[in-house]
Amino acid sequence: MARSNWKQLSALVLLLALACASWSCTVASSNELYFGKTDPPARNIFRYVTGDEPESLDPAISNGQPEARIYMALYEGLVEYDPKTVGPIPALATHWRPNNDASEFTFYLRHSGRWSNGDPIDANDFVYSFRRVVSPQVASRNAYMAYYIKYAQAYNEGAVFVRDQKTGNFLLAKDFEENVQEPLSSTPVDKTKGEYAPTAEDPNQPPDTATHESFHTPLRLTIPGDAKARTKLLNANAKLKAAVEGKELVPVKAEDIGVEAVDQYTLRICLTSPAPFFVGMLAHQAFRIVPRKVVEQYGAQWAQPEHIVTCGPFKVKTWRPYDKLVVERDPMYWDAANVKLDEIYFYPMSDNPTIMNLYKVGEIDAVLNHTVPNAWLHVVREKKDYMDAVEAGIDYLTINVTKPPMNDVRVRRAFNMSVDKQAWAAWRKIVKPLTAFTPEKIFPGYTQPTGDAFNPEEARKLLGEAGFPVTKNGDGSYSCPKFPKEVEFIYNTQESNKAMAEWMQAQWKQHLGITVTLRNMDWKTFLVARAKLDYNGFARSAWGADYMDPFTFLSLFYTGGDSGTGWQDPKYVALLDEANRSLDPHKRYELLAQAEAYMLKAQPVIPLDTSSVNWVKKPYVKGMYPNAGSLFAWKYVYIERDPAKWDLGTPSLAE
Amino acid sequence: MVRFIIRRLLVTIPTILVVITITWTLIKLAPGNFYSGEKRLPPAIEKNIREKYGLDKPWYQQYGKTMWAIIRHFDFGTSLRFEGQSVNTIIWRSLPVSAAVGILAYILALVIGIAVGSIAALKQNSRWDYASMALAMLGISVPNFVLGPILVLVFSLSLYWLPPSRWGGFPSRNLILPVITLSAIYMAYIARLTRAGMLEVLRSDYIRTARAKGLSEKDVLIRHALRGGLMPVVSYTGPALAFLLTGTVVVERIFALPGLGNYFIQASLNRDEPLIIGIVAFISITLLLMNMLVDIAYAFLDPRVRYQ
């Protein structure tokens, strides 16, 4: 037996030696310029990992970023994301005009748009697709993106208008709310002045129509279509109840929403309120168009490879779920001549080391964002194919402000001030420290407020004021015996989250003498716990921009309940409303910044960092930039075969 | 024998229904849902989704609908996560992948395991015996989530000999590493079981009789000893084959293979109810069938079982 044990040991040693030898090979290769092989693929094919298996090829279904990148290959909308700035650039629309208060937009479509089956694309395709995405039956998770369109939210929520049968008039929203300021889109069209500022190319007003005039009426009152919810609302508001009593309830229909095909190639979108950032949102998958005929013919099956019809630069060639999705250049695409790749392979994968392995051996040409594991960074970050750029995303902790002791703003501020964000960023290596709630250096012209700086001294004082005195021990450490033990930090099970939780725990232990309990749970359980405020203390959070405007972050607290904190403040909401009504973009940003500062003072969150894109691409992949949204317009991407023109480092985002 | 098989098959059906019911209950008890994500949805959208998929109905209606479709048409419905893809299609598409890797691993494990085990038994207490049993011990103790990455590190990332992951069709070089990783532990078990079984049989009376009758050593070993010595291996490999066929979560994740195991873990994490139920039912059926096959194989190998 002793001999057998010895054999066992020697075998183990051998194996470990082998492993170490191979590891040292990997590390030794760190002298090379790039991470792994750099042989371009034989054909003009781009092999990419976009993340986990796509839920569906129907752009209305998934709200995920991995799918968004696939939809960008297969579908187009009015505009596309700029490869560098992620701002809107013309796609199926050649140009557009906002009205004078940005509450209505007119889009001019190109005449050459075609579906992959050869059918022409016109304004009616947009009307159909926009109505479809907010239809309650389709139940799209992206519907909220279209809520800015007049009555879209009411239609999606199954709401009803209230009509007085005697006069035939609808009840109006302004009669039941205070301080309603009607935007241009809700006031009758002024035929003499017009609502569009003349431009050099087009001094005329877009044509007026009966539909247009019907949109330009004061916003109608909408109440829940569901009897239970309606009764509850009416019982809470006597004035409303009296007004609705005996009136006819008219369901909000698809035709009611503010989208209109003015003519074959002109599309008008009428919004509930001014939204200057609206064009920037239109590249989102919610607004990419789908083929009406095919959708109506095949129902839920329409996006299966045997039926699918698309309108983007690429079309589906083959799809084997969890293996690969192959898309090929669509000759019907209006700009097919400028599409450089023949095919793109999308490999669905979610295990980061597995993805990086494939990248290293040269079987894939680029990987999705956030893919280089922390433990690999010291090697990969030195390479010339590492993409080092900031992202329109933040990492932060939510605080449940509804439970003591965290319902005391002094306690929340104390915890925020005792997290050293500089040290955090240095430890994470690639992120930038953040004290505000919008990512830094992402929105040009936006002057971000600064939150409380790292100040453990002040933090201990605040805790003392809140009734939890912090005392210094003989060995220089701190203790806070009165602080409740139930305060916890919840996170979803993942190695990097665990490391983060432990890091935060250590900070608070060191500076406040408080030990916060760590509790991990699986992803879906975690989402429920955070959303339902079923935790006492802190929860890990992250947010990525839906569109390039600070409002995509600030709107998290616009309505209560979905921020995961329980914090809600009418003054904050009023500031945001005022900002969005403002026609001057500078004034608007100023007001948004005021709102952000106001929110930071209440400290429902602990901001940590502006995240980093953290991905790699082979030097021969050109036309693909580490933009802040990690969204890539695929038609610009190509394979450069001349090594002299390869990228040596992160390509510049400057224009 | 036919009556035995029919009886076993009849017992299988209620077993499967119970398994499905338990699975259904567990899914309903688990917090979270298939549509939630980091971006929280407005309540209206959540309501629309729940209505679209019938999740707003009372539990007994949902349960009844699920069970009825399964009993009537053996239809597990449509995946919640993957719009428009039926569970049956997903299973039949991913099964060949898992089965290809599983069967290859099974054959590899059997051939090498039995060979190594037999040699170890015949040359008991020799160097061969110690070396092979040490390796077997290593195979049992090194989990596949350690072995897989080590093999990848050596043969893919350092030597660039083999692809590190992905499905490359059948047959392809992509299969080599996952098959070895998957078979290691089974190979090791089979080697140890074979050795133990053979050692016991080699000392038994009927082997002594066979030798006394003057049979050649080859005949004694292959016709008599091996047959008896493999009994423990048979009872082990039946269920093992079922597990190998229906996919292994870890290996399919490490090597990014589009097999059943990969779907299974993802479906659970995604709370994709119909898909979980479908895969659980499928795995249970395979497992029960394999156990039945083992019993039949026993009857062929060991006359004593046949007459009981």
Residue of B nearest to A63 (CA): B39
| Interchain proximity A562–B40, CB inside 8 Å | yes
Q: How far apart are CA A328 and CA A290, in angstroms?
A: 18
Chain B hits for A8, CB-CB cut-off 8 Å, are 134, 137-138
Q: What is the pLDDT of residues B23-68, one digit of tens each?
A: 999 999 998 899 988 777 888 999 999 999 999 999 999 999 999 9
Residue for token pair 């239609």: A155
Band of pLDDT at residue A18, cut at 50, 70 and 90: low
Cα-based distances in Å from B273 to B20, B32, B76, B91: 11, 11, 10, 14
Q: What is the pLDDT of residues A524-536, one digit of tens each?
A: 999 999 988 999 9
Chain A hits for B31, CB-CB cut-off 8 Å, are 524-525, 528-529
Strands A605-612 and A390-399, by their bridges, are antiparallel
Strands A432-433 and A605-612, by their bridges, are antiparallel
- Mean pLDDT, residues B169-175: 88
| Interchain proximity A143–B48, CB inside 8 Å | yes
In this model, does residue A6 exceed pLDDT 50? no
Residue for token pair 């030898």: A21
What is the model's pLDDT at position A1? 38
| Interchain proximity A323–B160, CB inside 8 Å | no
What is the model's pLDDT at position A15? 54
Chain B hits for A354, CB-CB cut-off 8 Å, are 164-165, 253-256
Interface test with B, best of A70, A318, A524 (most B CBs within 10 A): A524
- Mean pLDDT, residues A166-175: 92
Residue B51 to chain A, least CA–CA distance (Å): 8
Q: Please name the residue ranges forming H helices in A513-584.
A: 523-531, 551-554, 570-581
DSSP track, A199-220: -SS--SPPPP-HHHHHHSSPPB
Residue type present at position A117: N
What is the model's pLDDT at position A625? 96
- Mean pLDDT, residues B235-239: 80
Chain A hits for B271, CB-CB cut-off 8 Å, are 524
| Interchain proximity A351–B256, CB inside 8 Å | yes
Chain B hits for A140, CB-CB cut-off 8 Å, are 45
In this model, does residue A13 exceed pLDDT 90? no
Band of pLDDT at residue A25, cut at 50, 70 and 90: very low
What is the model's pLDDT at position A3? 43
Q: Is residue B90 within 8 Å of residue B82, measured between CB atoms? A: yes
Band of pLDDT at residue A4, cut at 50, 70 and 90: very low
Q: What is the pLDDT of residues A584-602, one digit of tens each?
A: 889 999 999 999 999 999 9
Interface test with A, best of B123, B162, B165 (most A CBs within 10 A): B165
DSSP track, A270-318: EBSS--TTHHHHTTSGGGS---HHHHHHHGGGTTSTTT----SSEEEEE
Residue for token pair 């699918």: A308
| Interchain proximity B153–A53, CB inside 8 Å | no
Chain B hits for A137, CB-CB cut-off 8 Å, are 48, 52
Question: Is the ipTM above a cut-off of 0.90?
Answer: no
Tally of CB atoms within 10 A around A499: 13
Q: What is the pLDDT of residues A341-374, one digit of tens each?
A: 999 999 999 889 999 999 999 999 999 999 999 8
| Interchain proximity A139–B266, CB inside 8 Å | no
Q: Please name the residue ranges forming H helices in A436-480.
A: 456-465
Say which of A52, A354, A559 has its CB closest to residue B165.
A354
| Interchain proximity B48–A527, CB inside 8 Å | no
Interface test with B, best of A38, A323, A326, A493 (most B CBs within 10 A): A323
Please, is A527 exposed, middle or buried when counting C-beta atoms within 10 Å of its C-beta (0-12, 13-18, 19+)? buried
Poorest-confidence range of A142-156, A279-293, A560-574, B75-89? A560-574
Poorest-confidence range of A4-8, A466-470, B207-211, B230-234? A4-8
- Mean pLDDT, residues A246-253: 95
Q: How far apart are CA A256 and CA A131, in angstroms?
A: 9
Q: How far apart are CA B242 and CA B237, in angstroms?
A: 9
Chain B hits for A139, CB-CB cut-off 8 Å, are 45, 48-49, 51-52
CB pairs under 8 A between A and B: 172
Residue A455 to chain B, least CA–CA distance (Å): 31
- Mean pLDDT, residues A308-312: 97
Residue A623 to chain B, least CA–CA distance (Å): 27
In this model, does residue A198 exceed pLDDT 90? no
- Mean pLDDT, residues B196-218: 87
Please, is B37 exposed, middle or buried when counting C-beta atoms within 10 Å of its C-beta (0-12, 13-18, 19+)? middle
Q: How far apart are CA B245 and CA B105, in angstroms?
A: 10
Residue of A nearest to B250 (CA): A351
Residue of B nearest to A6 (CA): B134
Say which of B40, B45, B150 has its CB closest to residue A19.
B150
What is the model's pLDDT at position A377? 93
Cα-based distances in Å from B215 to B164, B209, B221: 50, 9, 10
Chain A hits for B92, CB-CB cut-off 8 Å, are none
- Mean pLDDT, residues B216-223: 83
CA dihedral sign, ordered B73, B76, B80, B86: negative
Say which of A53, A137, A157 has its CB closest to residue B52.
A137
Chain A hits for B167, CB-CB cut-off 8 Å, are 323
What is the model's pLDDT at position A80? 97
Cα-based distances in Å from B19 to A74, A468, B282: 41, 53, 11
Token readout for B175 is 């299969």
| Interchain proximity B134–A11, CB inside 8 Å | yes
Mean pLDDT computed over every residue of chain B: 88
Say which of B41, B266, B270 has its CB closest to residue A141.
B41
Please, is A253 exposed, middle or buried when counting C-beta atoms within 10 Å of its C-beta (0-12, 13-18, 19+)? exposed
Question: Could you give the angle at which helices B144-152 and B176-202 cross, rounded to 10 degrees?
Answer: 130
What is the model's pLDDT at position A177? 78
Cα-based distances in Å from A251 to A138, A157, B22, B49: 17, 10, 42, 19
Interface test with B, best of A9, A357, A376, A522 (most B CBs within 10 A): A357
Mean pLDDT computed over every residue of chain A: 91
Say which of B32, B83, B255 has its CB closest to residue A527.
B32
N residues, chain A: 655
Q: How far apart are CA A545 and CA A553, in angstroms?
A: 7
Judged by phi (left if over 0) then psi (alpha if -120 to 50, else beta), residue A568 lies in beta
Say which of B44, B49, B131 has its CB closest to residue A7.
B131
What is the model's pLDDT at position A350? 87
Q: What is the rounded end-to-end Cα distance, in angstroms, of chain A?
A: 72
Strands A488-492 and A517-521, by their bridges, are parallel
Segment holding A627, helix H or strand E: none
Residue B167 to chain A, least CA–CA distance (Å): 7
Report the share of chain A in percent with pLDDT over 70.
94
Q: What are phi and psi of A18, to 5 degrees?
A: -60, -45
Chain A hits for B252, CB-CB cut-off 8 Å, are none
Judged by phi (left if over 0) then psi (alpha if -120 to 50, else beta), residue B247 lies in left
Asked if the peptide bond before residue A405 counts as cis, ω within 30 degrees of 0, the response is yes
What is the model's pLDDT at position A183? 87
Report the greatest alpha carbon distance in chain B.
85
In this model, does residue A12 exceed pLDDT 80? no
Chain A hits for B143, CB-CB cut-off 8 Å, are none
Residue type present at position A271: L
